[in-house]
A and B are shown apart, each in its own frame.
Chain A
Amino acid sequence: MAKINWFKYSSPASFYPLAGKVVPWFAWLAAILGVVGLYVAFFEAPLKDYQQGQSYKIIFIHVPTAWMSMFIYVVMALWAAAGMVFNTRLSYMMAKALAPTGALFAFLALWTGALWGKPTWGTWWVWDARLTSELILFFLYIGFIALGSAIEDPRRAARACGLLALVGVVNVPIIYFSVLWWSTLHQPPSLKLNEATMGTSMLVGILLVTFSLWFYTIAVALVRVRGEILERERDTSWVAQLIHEGKE
């Protein structure tokens, strides 16, 4: 079997068409999983939690967005680290492309959390460890995006952002362990692997929505990377040929 050269796809010229091909697949997967997940959430999951009423259905959005916002930051830092180790331009582009989606999910997690907290806890916001760390995560994303847009030289911007992502990723484990450090008003994580604290249909709903968001993130990030590649490589011959053939 011939050895596949994975680094072939770290070149923007060969990654661009590949990304173009897989984007629709991920987009459709995201849409289908999203519809199924929300169906499960609204029609299959138990209609009423005896304590919380209908408002608890917000967690089908809240939990996946919170998970994804943390996960995306780690992935972003991994791309940044890969960029530093292999010195590939594409890795930095991936990190940059993931940031807006991560910021969006962090914001949505905070927003839906506030909407859920009002009927359940009777307050929009509490200064609890996990809410606060999610807010800090949101700030970290904003800082990352701000630094990227403040530097005009794209090469310096990419590498500076990569370093910032690596520095900031120190914060992500703190978010996770903060639950154990100071546990106050926020309930401990509702999903535990070894004991079933929630119904199977709820778990399925949350996981389906999570995977839907995951594929959405991949699709959107790839679209952004394609735009980024075109912008940075606009003077190269392969982009000129692409335009000449009328494909883009």
Chain B
Amino acid sequence: MLSAFRTVLRRDLVLAMRRRADFLTIVFFFIIVVSLFPLGVGPEIDTLRTIAPGVVWVAALLASMLSLGRLFYNDYMDGTLEQMVLAPQPLSVIVLGKVLAHWLVSGIPLVLVAPILGLQFDLGGDALLVLVVALFLGTPILSLIGAIGAALTLGLRGGGVLVSLLILPLYIPVLVFGSGAVEATASGIGAQAHLSLLGAGLFLALVFAPWATAAALKISIE
């Protein structure tokens, strides 16, 4: 079971490394969306500081949603996914490996870039740290929940737009607690409650999402 998990993880990481352009596009999408806001809202630094957590988080939501298409699609097209469903190992473990690889490739870069973007919005040192921690806890939830949507819409016409309709409402709690953590730090309340809730959400998603994704994959493939 563990070896299946490791094999899938390594395979997906290798495949991602062969196509670096794919995830670099996602990172630059994230940077561009965040940079658009000052142009739209205006350069007053006080306004920007207030909206920064929300802007960064919304951009992270959109970026992670955009990258979902690649999670299962290629394997679905060349038939690998079918073999994974037929494999003796539990599908949810394989799914967990794929989701972890997806997060390492598309989630971690967002976490690393976020502090630089936060500096553009004049966030303080503590707020920046909390932003990174919150994104670190929150982006895996996005990948886990998003996997359910990606599996449900596999191979459908207009699947990309549809997945946003299915998944964005489910992302909302992550957005609320994630940006809430940064705001709480900025206003001096302390982010512990928000971060704890994010951590709880991560464990909840870690338990249930791979299982739901596996069920969705079986529905989509048969």
Contacts and interface: CB of A to CB of B under 8 A. Distances in A.
Contact of B152 (A139, A140, A160, A174): A160
Contacts of A164: 152, 166
A112 interface: no
B220 A139 contact: no
A140 B165 CA distance: 8
Interface residues of B, number: 21
Given A143-B165, A163-B219, 9 more contacts: A146-B165, A147-B152, A147-B165, A150-B162, A156-B219, A156-B222, A159-B219, A163-B148, A167-B148
A207 interface: no
Interface of B: 148, 152-153, 156-159, 162, 165-166, 168-170, 172-173, 212, 215-216, 219-220, 222
Band of interface residues on A: 10 to 19
Chain B binding surface SS class: helix
A150 B220 contact: no
A163 B124 CA distance: 43
Interface of A: 136, 139-140, 142-143, 146-147, 150-151, 156, 159-160, 163-164, 166-168, 171, 174
Given A156-B220, A160-B220, A163-B219, A174 B173 contact: yes
Contacts, number: 50
B158 A150 contact: yes
B72 to A, nearest CB: 14
B63 to A, nearest CB: 20
A71 B172 CA distance: 21
A140 B153 contact: no
Contacts of B172: 136
Contacts of B158: 150
Given A150-B156, A150-B158, A163 B216 contact: yes
A146 B162 contact: yes
Contacts of A146: 162, 165-166
A133 to B, nearest CB: 9
A168 B156 contact: no
B151 to A, nearest CB: 9
Given A147-B162, A163-B152, A171 B169 contact: yes
